[in-house]
A and B are shown apart, each in its own frame.
Chain A
């Protein structure tokens, strides 16, 4: 095998960034007891929003904020339809995905008369950051240092999410709502408030992930550029049963598969690429089966 392991790991870091961010978003909604199918659409809208805002204001960082804002707005829309209007979660989620896919392509055509790809000349991608001391370490430096700033943000997000969910009162309230809404209500926690909060925060994280894809890594928006990452991240959340650390590990693992697949693409291998792509989805099913077998086992089969 003549695959450069160092480059592969560096690529893994880059590729798993959006997965990590979307994964944390999925974790929030999983913990509050809502299946969030719409992660994909929120990320896509965030990617488009980031490019548009960056193009209009001329600043990539404001674009990143704009992407997060668009994601949060879609999260709020999802929350409105699911919580207030009591729409079915799955149906509303799929609708939001359709809306994001169609809406971004439509707006791209209407606003800028572009189809397929929107690459405005004045949008430059975020400059990669070299971490002072670590970049000098031979192998580790190459893997960890020299990435786009949002990559580091995604790493910080994982412990932050963990602290948020398990150390802060708000996080505990969110988990309580997910665990047992009626009990939480009785204890004086606003159930709808927590659900709104989780979905809007999740939307912002998805928007951030989208922004990383469009202006963090590249400098353009492409139709359906999120490429089912929302569902892969959702798979990671389910695989890890929504624990922050495990979710992050699963996201990195799936990112590694994807990186591996890029490297293997033009080689003759015994192990076909399609199976690598299938792996996240299969792992979720296996994890779900394992969880429920254990549950049934405890009940005495």
Chain B
């Protein structure tokens, strides 16, 4: 290989994958981590720490021997599935969320492996290729981070809307609008100095995405139109509108065969951070957004209002929160994050706007938001793992005889697992509510985002 190879021990990533040599090593490490986290959770809930440590070590070791080491995550998740309400409960939430992300991904990979074995392919070899090309070299890791970048933005955007109880499926549309307008800034204001141009493009792209998000937001807040349907439909409107802009509209470039806009100024192109990869500084912006969203949700008034509205809109209204305004603000931020994702893709990867360029970043983001149960850190972790899956997944067709569509199947399985897990939690909550109130209505309309009402 041309790139310097810095191997990463596979047991750190996925203990299923490594060969016989490091097996016990991996089991011990995973069991230790499991013991520590389990113990912390048990202690947190006021029980003896050594019980937790013992339980964690046993499940870790058993799981490790069964080559399913991450399954020990199930235990803490079972031990503590809800917010205990104390000051450091946030940490419990973070840990359980991380646990959920990892278990779900592992379960989906396991199911994917089963499918591979059933269709007579070598599952271990396929996964080894997938992770080697997702994590094996510096360049592979950079590519995984690159693939994760837009998903972090869209995941955050979706999560913040879900948290306010708005089932915003329309981040994809905002992404297109943001990308289009960032590209427009990039090839129009070429006389501006580099940094200013980049900042302007991100700002305009973000605002375009935010304004696009305001449309369903306004319809929901003012006219009570169901946002699920409008956001799905507006996605298609955005895709067609942006396609029109470059295919025959104002940004059409005569002589260009493909539906693409002009190339943006080289000053607006984000420099690559790693050689021979397009991994660029929009990733740093994504990380900054994670921090900003955490701050916003936990420390600012808007975050408090968002959580109130998401948990119980009626109560929020009675305590003096303007629900409609909160929904509008949240939808703007949600769309803004989508717009930033699009702007980042244009300035860091494609250097122009091409019609229908997104391969479902918005939907990936939604998957992640559901998976991480709207926790920003969970979104970050989930997006990184998804990046590996996406980036490594593109190579499995080249190096094995497994069709690339396996990645789609694995993603579908992830979403299914998430959906069913959410519902289990939903059932538990309902049982509690029923026990409290002594009534149990049969709510068949479970279209509200259950995720939204959970720990942030």
B119 contacts which chain A residues (CB < 8 A)? Answer: 106, 110
A35 contacts which chain B residues (CB < 8 A)? Answer: 228-229, 447
Q: In the docked arrangement, what's the CA distance between A58 and B115, Å?
A: 28
- Asked whether, in the complex, the Cβ of A272 is within 8 Å of the Cβ of B403, the reply is no
B237 at the interface (CB under 8 A from A): yes
Which one of A86, A92, A109 contacts B405 once the chains associate, using CB atoms below 8 Å?
A109
Task: With both chains docked as a complex, state the minimum distance between the C-beta of A189 and any C-beta of chain B, in angstroms.
Answer: 12
A177 contacts which chain B residues (CB < 8 A)? Answer: 444
Interface string of A168-211 (1 = CB under 8 A from B): 00000000010001100100000100010000000000000000
B336 contacts which chain A residues (CB < 8 A)? Answer: none
Interface residues of A in 228-261 (CB under 8 A from B): 228, 231, 234-235, 238
Q: When A86-B426, A182-B441, A272-B248 are in contact, do A115 and B403 touch as well, CB less than 8 Å?
A: yes
- Asked whether, in the complex, the Cβ of B225 is within 8 Å of the Cβ of A292, the reply is yes
B117 at the interface (CB under 8 A from A): no
A86 contacts which chain B residues (CB < 8 A)? Answer: 423-424, 426-427, 446
A284 contacts which chain B residues (CB < 8 A)? Answer: 229-230, 233
Looking at chain B's contact residues, the main secondary structure is: helix
B288 contacts which chain A residues (CB < 8 A)? Answer: none
- Asked whether, in the complex, the Cβ of A278 is within 8 Å of the Cβ of B228, the reply is no
Least CB separation from B226: chain A residue: A288
B43 at the interface (CB under 8 A from A): no
Q: In the docked arrangement, what's the CA distance between A64 and B451, Å?
A: 39
- Asked whether, in the complex, the Cβ of A274 is within 8 Å of the Cβ of B244, the reply is yes
Identify the interface centre among B233, B249, B363, B451: most chain A CB within 10 Å of its CB: B233
- Asked whether, in the complex, the Cβ of B444 is within 8 Å of the Cβ of A181, the reply is yes
Q: When A102-B408, A292-B225 are in contact, do A88 and B240 touch as well, CB less than 8 Å?
A: no
- Asked whether, in the complex, the Cβ of A106 is within 8 Å of the Cβ of B406, the reply is yes
Q: In the docked arrangement, what's the CA distance between A22 and B48, Å?
A: 58
Q: In the docked arrangement, what's the CA distance between A95 and B413, Å?
A: 7
- Asked whether, in the complex, the Cβ of A106 is within 8 Å of the Cβ of B225, the reply is no
Q: When A106-B405, A284-B233 are in contact, do A89 and B226 touch as well, CB less than 8 Å?
A: no
Which one of A94, A102, A278 contacts B409 once the chains associate, using CB atoms below 8 Å?
A102
Which one of B406, B419, B441 contacts A91 once the chains associate, using CB atoms below 8 Å?
B419
A281 at the interface (CB under 8 A from B): yes
Interface string of A61-103 (1 = CB under 8 A from B): 0000000000000000000010101111111101110110111
Identify the interface centre among B228, B409, B442, B444: most chain A CB within 10 Å of its CB: B444
- Asked whether, in the complex, the Cβ of B415 is within 8 Å of the Cβ of A191, the reply is no
- Asked whether, in the complex, the Cβ of A91 is within 8 Å of the Cβ of B409, the reply is no
Which one of B115, B229, B413, B423 contacts A88 once the chains associate, using CB atoms below 8 Å?
B423
Q: When A88-B449, A106-B403, A191-B444 are in contact, do A288 and B230 touch as well, CB less than 8 Å?
A: yes
Q: In the docked arrangement, what's the CA distance between A89 and B423, Å?
A: 10
A105 at the interface (CB under 8 A from B): yes
B234 at the interface (CB under 8 A from A): yes
Interface residues on chain B, size class: 35 or more
B167 contacts which chain A residues (CB < 8 A)? Answer: 90
A277 at the interface (CB under 8 A from B): yes
A94 contacts which chain B residues (CB < 8 A)? Answer: 169, 363, 366, 415
Looking at chain A's contact residues, the main secondary structure is: helix
A163 at the interface (CB under 8 A from B): no
Least CB separation from A281: chain B residue: B233
- Asked whether, in the complex, the Cβ of A238 is within 8 Å of the Cβ of B229, the reply is yes
Q: When A106-B403, A288-B230 are in contact, do A296 and B223 touch as well, CB less than 8 Å?
A: yes
Task: With both chains docked as a complex, state the minimum distance between the C-beta of A236 and any C-beta of chain B, in angstroms.
Answer: 12
- Asked whether, in the complex, the Cβ of B444 is within 8 Å of the Cβ of A110, the reply is no
Q: In the docked arrangement, what's the CA distance between A195 and B236, Å?
A: 29
Interface string of B426-456 (1 = CB under 8 A from A): 1100000000000001111111011100000
Least CB separation from B449: chain A residue: A88
Task: With both chains docked as a complex, state the minimum distance between the C-beta of B229 and any C-beta of chain A, in angstroms.
Answer: 6
B442 contacts which chain A residues (CB < 8 A)? Answer: 181-182, 185, 191
Interface string of B228-254 (1 = CB under 8 A from A): 111011101100110110011100000
Interface residues of A in 108-125 (CB under 8 A from B): 109-110, 115
Interface residues of B in 94-109 (CB under 8 A from A): none
Q: In the docked arrangement, what's the CA distance between A101 and B359, Å?
A: 13
Task: With both chains docked as a complex, state the minimum distance between the C-beta of B25 and any C-beta of chain A, in angstroms.
Answer: 35
- Asked whether, in the complex, the Cβ of A102 is within 8 Å of the Cβ of B229, the reply is no
- Asked whether, in the complex, the Cβ of B447 is within 8 Å of the Cβ of A90, the reply is yes
B274 contacts which chain A residues (CB < 8 A)? Answer: none
Task: With both chains docked as a complex, state the minimum distance between the C-beta of B324 and any C-beta of chain A, in angstroms.
Answer: 13
Task: With both chains docked as a complex, state the minimum distance between the C-beta of A198 and any C-beta of chain B, in angstroms.
Answer: 12
B234 contacts which chain A residues (CB < 8 A)? Answer: 281, 285
Task: With both chains docked as a complex, state the minimum distance between the C-beta of B363 and any C-beta of chain A, in angstroms.
Answer: 7
B1 at the interface (CB under 8 A from A): no
A141 at the interface (CB under 8 A from B): no
B418 contacts which chain A residues (CB < 8 A)? Answer: 91
A37 at the interface (CB under 8 A from B): yes
Which one of B225, B416, B443 contacts A288 once the chains associate, using CB atoms below 8 Å?
B225
- Asked whether, in the complex, the Cβ of A88 is within 8 Å of the Cβ of B247, the reply is no
B412 at the interface (CB under 8 A from A): yes
Interface residues of A in 1-51 (CB under 8 A from B): 33-35, 37
Residues on B close to A: CB < 8 A? Answer: 115, 119, 167, 169, 219, 223-226, 228-230, 232-234, 236-237, 240-241, 243-244, 247-249, 363, 366, 370, 403, 405-409, 411-413, 415-416, 418-420, 422-424, 426-427, 441-447, 449-451
Q: Other than the known A92-B416, A103-B412, A181-B444, what 13 A-B pairs have Cβ atoms closer than 8 Å? A: A33-B444, A34-B444, A96-B412, A99-B413, A106-B115, A106-B409, A274-B240, A274-B241, A275-B240, A278-B241, A285-B219, A288-B229, A293-B223
Top 4 A-B pairs ranked by shortest CB distance?
A: A102-B408, A274-B244, A95-B415, A87-B419
The contact sample of 8 A-B pairs, CB cut-off 8 A, is: A34-B444, A35-B447, A90-B228, A95-B419, A96-B412, A106-B408, A274-B248, A296-B224
Residues on A close to B: CB < 8 A? Answer: 33-35, 37, 81, 83, 85-92, 94-96, 98-99, 101-103, 105-106, 109-110, 115, 177, 181-182, 185, 191, 195, 228, 231, 234-235, 238, 272, 274-275, 277-278, 281-282, 284-285, 288-289, 292-293, 295-296
